[in-house]
Amino acid sequence: MIEEKILKLREQIKQHDYSYYVEDNPTISDFEYDSLMIELQNLEGQNPSLITSDSPTQRVGGKPLDIFDRVVRAIPMESLNDVFSKADVESFDNRVKKALDGQAVQYVVEPKIDGLSVSLEFENGLFLRGSTRGDGSVGEDITQNLRTIKSIPLKLDNAPQYLEVRGEVFMPADSFNRLNERQQQSGLRMFANPRNAAAGSLRQLDSRITAERGLDIFVFNIQQINGASIFSHSEGLKFLKTMGFKVVPSFKVFTHIKDVLAEIDRLDKERENFSFDIDGAVVKVNSFAQRQALGSTAKAPKWAVAYKYPPEQKETMLTDIIVQVGRTGVLTPNAVLMPVNISGSVVSKATLHNIDNILAKDIRIGDTVVIQKAGEIIPEVTQSIKEKRTGAERIFEMPRFCPACQNAVVREEGEAAVRCVNPLCPAQLVRNIIHFASRGAMDIDGMGDAVSAQLVSNNLIQSGADLYYLKKDDLLKLERMAEKSVSNLLAAIEKSKDAGLDRVIYALGIRHVGSQTAKALAQHFGSIDSLIGAKADELSLVPDVGEAIAQSIVDFFNNDKAIDIVNKLRFAGVELTYENNKSDNRFAGKTFVLTGTLPTFKREQAAAEIESRGGKVSSSVSKKTDYVVAGSEAGGKLAKAQELGIKIVDEDEFISMLQ
C-alpha cells in the first residue's frame, strides 16, 4: 500500500514537472506542488528502502565531490563551423549539394542556444550518466549536478534500451537576473553573462549549489541509440519529445536555401522575446544517410554550420553617470539608462570604461545613446546621438576623491584610469579578499565569494592577512558555517601559509603585478624584505618589470598600511621567502597563450596553474606556441592559432590537463 502511494506520488510529480519545466504550462499551484513533494519526502524518509534514483526527491543535490571523473565517449561531440554572412550559408549549401551529386536536401534550422553542451545517457529509460563536452572525446562526469535540472527526465517513457542525447544547458534570463541580484546584494562579483553563470554552476563540486541556480536544458541531438531506428534529425527531435525531453524550440525543416535564410532572419528578430540567450542559428542537413555521406573534418561536421548574429544594438536615454570602485582601485564610470530590452534581458546600466572614452565619444548626461550587448554583463555605450540633443545635456567630470573612502584619487601620466590608492578602501575590500584567497594566489579552499563577503560584513577581517587570525568560535556564529566547514576552512588557511613568496606577492594585489611578474620578483629577491627595500631602478632589472611596474611596487610598499599587512602575514607564520622546488613539471618546455573569457578561471589563475607546472605563458601566438586556451569572445589569437595548426583547448580540456 505504501509502495503504491509512493509510486503514485512520483508519477504525479513527474507529470507536474513536465507541464511546468518542459511545456511551461503549470497545472497546479506552487503550494499544491510543495505539498505533494513533502508527502513523498516523508514517506520515503520512513521507508528508505523504497527510495530509487528516479525519484524526484533525488534532485536536490548530494555530497560534495573532490573531483570530477573523466568520461571517454564512443561518439565524439563535435563543434560546428561558424559562418557570419548569408553568402557563407549559400556556399555551405553549394558544397553540400555538390558532395551529394545534386541530391535533394532538406535542412533543419534551429536557434543556437548560448549555453554549455552536455551528454545525457539513459539505460532502459533511467538516467545513467551526464558529462561535459570537454574536448569532444573526453569530458567530465557531472551527473550529480545534471540531476538537479528539473527539465531533464530521470525516467523516460517508452524508452529504447540505450540512448545518448546531446543538449545545451543554459540559465534562463529570470534565473540569471535573480542570481546576479543575490551576488550584488552580497557584495560579490556578478556573472558576466548567462553562459558563464551556467558554466560555473555546472562545474560546482557541491551539487547543492547547482540546484539553487535555476538551470535549464534544451536537447537537440541523438548521439547514440539502441532499440529504435531514426532516419532524420527532425524525426529524432519529435521522438525525443514523446519521451519527455525538452527539445530545442522553433526548429523547422526547409528544402530551399532562400527559406533557410529567411528563417535565420526571423529568429534574429524574435530573439529578444526569448527567455534564453541565443547567439545564432544552426543549419543542419536533415537526413542521417546524407550526413554520413558528407562526413566530418578533424574539427567539425560537413553537414552543419552555425550562423552567428552580430551584437544587438538599441537606443535609449542616458539619465546619469555613476562611478564604481573596482578591486584594483580603478574608478569606472557607468551609465544609468532608461530601461531597455536587449538580447533577452532588461538593461538599465552600461559601461563607459573611462573618462577618455566619454570625452572621445562626447557622451553627456541626458543624451540619447546606442548600446550593445556583446557578452558582457554591463553592456557598452557605443555612441551618443547628437542630433537628438535638446541643450539640457550635462558634461560629466570624474570625481577628485574616492566615492567610497574619500581619499584623493590619482591619474598617472599616460594612463586612462583614475584610481584610489588606499589599500583599505571599503569598496575594494571584498574584491581584494577574494583575490587574495583565489586559486592563483594563496589558494584557500572554501574562501569563495560568499564567505569573503560574510567575513567582511561581520567585521572579522579588513585584509587578507586577517584570515590567519580568525577564531573558530567567531566563524561558527556565521550563517551556514557549521563545525565541519569551519574546520575545513581553518585547515585550508593554515595550509596556505606555505604557498610561497611568489603567491604572496601576487595575492597582495599590487597594481600591474600579475602571477608571472610575482614569480620573477620572488626568484630575483628571494624574500619579502628584500623586495620591500628595493628601489625602482633595482626592480627594473627583473625580467617582465618595466618602469611603470617598478614604480607601482615602490608606491605600494611606501604605504604604511601595506607594510602592516606584510607584518601581519609575517607574525602569522606565512612563508615570505622563495624556494624553487617544483615537483610537477608536466608543462616544462611548453608555451601557452590564453585568449577570450574562460567560464570559471580568471586569466591570472589559469596562468598561475600553467607556471606552477613548469609552463610558460605568452601574450602572442607564434609557431613556438604549443597550446592556445580559448574561452568565449576569443578573437585574433584564436584565428591565428587555427591558421598555424596549433592545438586549441577549451576550459574543460585545460582542467583535464591540469589534473
So which residues are the catalytic ones? 112
Among the listed residues 17, 75, 15, 9, the one whose alpha carbon sits nearest the alpha carbon of residue 41: 9
For residue 365, what is the DSSP state?
B
Alpha carbon distance 201, 539 (integer Å): 41
For residue 496, what is the DSSP state?
G
The set of cell numbers assigned to 74 is 564512443
For residue 588, what is the DSSP state?
T
Among the listed residues 321, 328, 324, 405, the one whose alpha carbon sits nearest the alpha carbon of residue 358: 321
Q: Compute the CA torsion angle 169, 175, 181, 183 (nearest 10 deg).
A: -30
Number of Cβ within a 10 Å radius of residue 609: 22
In order, the DSSP letters of 534-582 are --HHHHTTSTT--HHHHHHHHHHHTSHHHHHHHHHHHHHT---B-----
Q: Are 421 and 555 in contact (CB under 8 A)?
A: yes
In order, the DSSP letters of 442-474 are T--TT--HHHHHHHHHTTS-SSGGGGGG--HHH
In sequence order, the 6+-apart residues with CB closer than 8 A to the CB of 49 are none
- What long-range pairs does 642-648 form, CB within 8 A, spacing at least 24? 646/621
H-type alpha helices, 119-230 = 143-146, 173-185, 194-202, 207-211
In sequence order, the 6+-apart residues with CB closer than 8 A to the CB of 514 are 506, 604, 607
Q: What is the 3-state secondary structure of 91-148?
A: HHHHHHHHHCCCCCCCEEEEEEECCEEEEEEEECCEEEEEEECCCCCEEEECHHHHCC
3-state helix, strand, coil in the chain (%, to 5): 40, 20, 40
Residue 440 CA to its chain's centroid (Å): 17
Alpha carbon distance 404, 62 (integer Å): 41
For residue 310, what is the DSSP state?
P
Residue 363 CA to its chain's centroid (Å): 31
Alpha carbon distance 632, 376 (integer Å): 11
